[in-house]
Amino acid sequence: MTLPAVTLHAWARAYLLSADLATKFDPPPPPEPSDDDPVPASERDLRPGRPPELQRIERAGKSPGRGALADPKRRAWLWHTFLHHELQAAELMAWAIVAFPETPAAFRRGVAAILLDEVRHMAMYRTALADDGARVGDFGVRDWFWQRVPAVRDAAGFCAVMGMGLEAANLDHGMRYASWLREAGCPSGAAIQDTIADEELPHVRFGLHWFKRFTGAADFDTWRAHLPPPLTPALLRGNAMNRAARTRAGMERAFLDALEASRFDPAGARA
């Protein structure tokens, strides 16, 4: 499938709606947006096309623990889950472009660039999946991100949930899984986690920058107020926070202290 290159909005819309697996993994370069472009109508209600290779499930299995990652079959499940996380992130970047067409061109341009990063991360996980004897579609997928992110009120809320929330949490989770994979004798998998975590840093920085632009602040209470229920701050961090990486991404000490002190609410984790 060839995506239209007329406008960034049309490009993002086509990527989002595509049910072709090859397109999800290899979209063409996005058109350059301009603040002088006509502003199309918002299409917040759009939801992603799903390639037939990906079968949705209602509830995912338990993530493999520290000792289980020595088993290639358990690693393959993990790679497939992470690949689908990246796919949802790419689709949600496309969704943000069509949902908030009134945002500055610089914001939409940055979101499109992040979309392409997520696509590259998908390809990295596909390689790891093949190395462990599996392929895309061998496991069911759960659209957890899609069940929550579109509830945001505006572009500031999108930055709060994606950049400052889910992608920042990947800094924590990536650190943990990289350590576990090294212990399990899988240095190539650990290297993937390290690389993706490093590339999430500018994504978090981007979300933080634009959240400040849209709201005028980036303190913990302002951020928390932009999280749509049932999301809670504690759900958007790892059990062990990667404070060093979050600090490099621009998060301030008071914000991190409040986030680390936040308590987990299981209601936010349920579909």
**pLDDT value at 2 more than 70:** no
Taking only the tens place, the pLDDT of each residue in 52-89 is 999 999 877 778 888 899 999 999 999 999 999 999 99
User: Average model confidence (pLDDT) for the chain?
Assistant: 94
Q: Please compute the mean of the pLDDT values over residues 187-212 and round it to a whole number.
A: 97
Model pLDDT for residues 227-252, shown as the tens digit of each residue: 999 999 999 999 999 999 999 999 99
pTM here is 0.94
210-233 pLDDT, tens digit each: 999 999 999 999 999 999 999 999
User: Quick one: average pLDDT of 44-48?
Assistant: 98
Asked if residue 5 has pLDDT above 90, the reply is: no
DSSP the chain: -PPP-S-HHHHHHHHHH---HHHHH-PPPPPPP-TTS--PPP-TT------TTPPB-SSPPPPP-GGGGGSHHHHHHHHHHHHHHHHHHHHHHHHHHHH-TTS-HHHHHHHHHHHHHHHHHHHHHHHHHHHTT--TTSS-B--TTTTTGGG-SSHHHHIIIIIIIIHHHHHHHHHHHHHHHHHTT-HHHHHHHHHHHHHHHHHHHHHHHHHHHHHS---HHHHHHTSPTT--GGGGS-SS--HHHHHHTT--HHHHHHHHHPPP-GGGG--
As a whole number, mean pLDDT of residues 187-207 equals 97
Instruction: Calculate what percentage of the chain has a pLDDT beyond 90.
Output: 90
Which domains are delineated in the chain?
69-269 (1.20.1260.10)
